[in-house]
Every structure is written in structure tokens, then in C-alpha cells.
Structure 1
Amino acid sequence: MMAGPDTSFWQARFEQQQTGWDRGGPSPQLLDWLAHHEVPMGRVAVPGCGHGWEVAELARHGHEVVALDYTPAAVDSTRRRLQTLGLRAQVVQADVLHYEPPAPFDAVYEQTCLCAIHPEHWGTYAAQLHRWLRTDGRLLMLIMQRPRPAAIEEGLIEGPPYHCDINAVRALFPERLWHWPKPPYAKVAHPSLSHELAVVLRKR
């Protein structure tokens, strides 16, 4: 049995409107990246797309977006948002741990997917992102910082959202596979989930 929450867990969260990770709009960091042309034009994947705010924003800026989520409610919500705004993107119901794109992506926007996956599966997910991207493609990451006392003091794995320690993330996305910018990294406040660290990696 797969460790961590399954599709039914996330479906219930959407149906009960318990989506505390949702800002009610696109991330300010994505808006900044778009303003500074950090997102290369072309095919962009958004794994764990949720309500699709960032999918719509990327589509509005002319990107060819592929939104992924294995929760039916998330897929439906993203499709409705795009339809309401008159925007186009491909929305796929799929498990990111097994999805294989028909062609490489120029960029991946990773916001709340890693921290929603049980850490036991982080290695698989990191390998997937590397395979999805073309050489020199960009991985735009918002790394969730959600430390809990029991996790620090007793080693408990608590989540979702799971705390994405920057040292663990460096091990998942090593320098031999990715170009890392020098720290410190931008700190992005979240209304209900502490904060995220914003990092743009390039695939070697």
C-alpha cells in the first residue's frame, strides 16, 4: 500500500473545501517570475495543479501548459477556471509518480506537489521531474517550509503538507543533475502554511 494520502483523501479535501494551501489566486512568486521572464516560452508542466490558478496565469502569458492532478475534483476545478477565463491548457488526470509526457517540457512549475507527497516517494518524484525536462529546462520550485516540533525532536513524519528541508531537497536534486543558484533564496509568505523558499534550477 502506498505511504501517505491517497486520491480519496484529496478528493474529500476539495469536496469539503478544506484547501488551506490555496491562496485564492496565483502565487506572487509566479507573477514575479513571469514578469522577469524566468519561465521559458514553450511547454510547461504544473504537477498537482489544484484549483488551477497558476495554470490559468501561465496560459494567459502564452505558455503551452499541461496541468496534472490525480484528484478528479482538482481536474474539474482547473478545467472550469480555464473555461470561465476563456483560456486553453491541457488538463490531465494522472499520478505524477507514473506520468510520462509525450514530449519533453521546457519548464516545470513545482509549488505544492512535493510537500503533498509522502517523503518515501520524493526520490521517485524528483527522478520524474528530471526525465520530464529537456536539457537546460527550468524547474521553478516553491519549497514548503513547515517544520513541526515532533518531526524535529522525535523524527516523526507529519503531513501533508510535509516539511521540505532545504538540505533534503538539495540531496533530491543534486548538483550533478541540476544547476543550483547560490543562496539565500527568496522567502515567499503563505497565508496559512508558514512560507516557501523560491528556487529556479536548470537541468544539466
Structure 2
Amino acid sequence: MILNKEYWKKRYKDKTTGWDIGFVSPPMKNFIDGLQDKTAKILVPGSGNGYEVEYLWQNGFKNVFAADYAELPLIHLKKRMPSFPETQLIHSDFFEIDQSFDIILEQTFFCALNPSLRPLYAEKMDALLKPKGILAGLLFKFPLTTSGPPFGGSINEYEELFKSKFHLHKLETAYNSLQERAGKELFFIFEKKST
């Protein structure tokens, strides 16, 4: 399976997007509700239809960016939010984004990448975040298999992957997951180490 631009384009075109719940997930909503700095520059990579982006925007975070490999979900987001700036819609390979952010929100992006790219993901997150920047969101907690996406993983794997570049402030089973995801999601907050 090649998880390239054509693969994701087809998934959206065929509406085979089982990860899309149609609204911001409770753990992500709870985290966003606790954010204080409305000027923070925020990235949602692999944003899909962008419910986190929409929720942030509606709550006064005007420096939020949606990035996706597939164009169709970005078009859907723009239709729902006509006032959202085109310049904040990034139709690109995540690994080619060249900006810096205060906060990056992880919601079903990491689990959609080929697991071989995980070390590159950790390096890219470190490169995209400003010093003491925050990477937060959800990672799946189920055995890593070759069938996916989504691809799973474990707390131990995630700790090993991120501990050299980030302070791991929180990495625990989400208490407020949707019923169908209960016990399968880890909520995390990682802070980029100062350099």
C-alpha cells in the first residue's frame, strides 16, 4: 500500500473516511478550551475536514493553519468557513511545510503515516515548533500491525520516539474518548526542549 497523495484523494472522493466523526473530538475540544493565548500560531497537520481548525477559529484563534495532502477536505473546510484565509490552508506534504508554530495539534495524522516515517515525524515536529512549542493531541493505543491505516502503537514506543526532543508532560489513556475509541486513545502533551 502506497500512502501517497492519490491514495488520500481517493479516500476522500470515495467517502471512505471512517476516522471522520464530523465534529471536534472531546479530548481535543477539552485541550483547546484550556488554551489561553489567542495569538498562538497553531498547525493542524493532516487536518482532513478540519473540525479542530473550525473550532479554534470560532473560538477566536485566528492564527490557525490547516494542512493536508488531499485538497478535497480543505475545500470542504473553506465551504463551511468562507471567511477562513486561503493563506492558512496548506495543501502540501507535511514534510515539506516550512514555517514555525507555537502549537501543533495531532488528531489522526500520526496513525495514518506509514510507521517507517515515525522517526521523521518526530524530527519534523521538532523542526516546525518554536522553542518550548507544544505538540499535543491523540495517539492510538493498540498493537502496531501492518494493516492500516490507522496504525497503532504503544506508550513505550511513543516515549522512545519523542523523549530526545521533547519533555513528555502527559501521555495517558484519554478519559473522554468517544465510546467507540474508549481505551484506544492516548492523550499527550509534549513540549519541545530548548536548544
Instruction: Note whether the superposition's TM-score is higher than 0.5.
Output: yes
Q: Deviations over 1:8-60 (max 9, x none)?
A: 11111111111110111011112111222277741000000101111111112
1:114 to 106, 110, 116: 110
Q: TM-score, normalised by structure 1?
A: 0.84
Q: How does 1:81-96 map to 2 (within 5 A)?
A: 81-83=80-82, 86-88=83-85, 90-96=88-94
Tell me the distance in 2 between the aligned counterparts of 1:182 and 1:42: 21
Letter of the aligned partner of 1:200 in structure 2?
A: I
183-192 or 37-46: bigger deviation = 183-192
Say whether the 8 Å CA contact 1:110–1:141 is kept in structure 2: yes
Aligned to 1:97: 95
Match of 1:171 in 2: 160
CA RMSD for the aligned pairs? 2.2
CA contact (8 A) 1:21 1:193 kept: no
The CA distance in 2 between the partners of 1:28 and 1:180, in whole Å, is 21
The TM-score, its normalising length taken from structure 2, stands at: 0.87
Q: Which residue of 1 aligns with 2:143?
A: 147
Deviation at 1:187, TM superposition (A): 3.8
Q: Which runs of 4+ in 1 moved over 2 A?
A: 34-41, 86-89, 145-148, 181-195
Unaligned stretches of 5+ residues in structure 2: none
SS where residue 197 of structure 1 aligns? strand
Q: Contact 1:7–1:71 at 8 Å: present in 2 too? A: yes
Alignment partners' CA distance in 1, 2:126 and 2:96? 13
Match of 2:78 in 1: 79
Residue 187 of structure 2: aligned partner? 198
Q: Structure 2: how far apart are the matches of 1:124 and 1:183?
A: 20
Q: Deviations over 1:152-203 (max 9, x none)?
A: xxxxx221000032221112211x3211125544344346556311111111
The share of aligned pairs that are identical, in percent, is: 28
Pair 112,26 (structure 1): closer, same or farther in 2 beyond 3 Å: same
Match of 1:68 in 2: 67
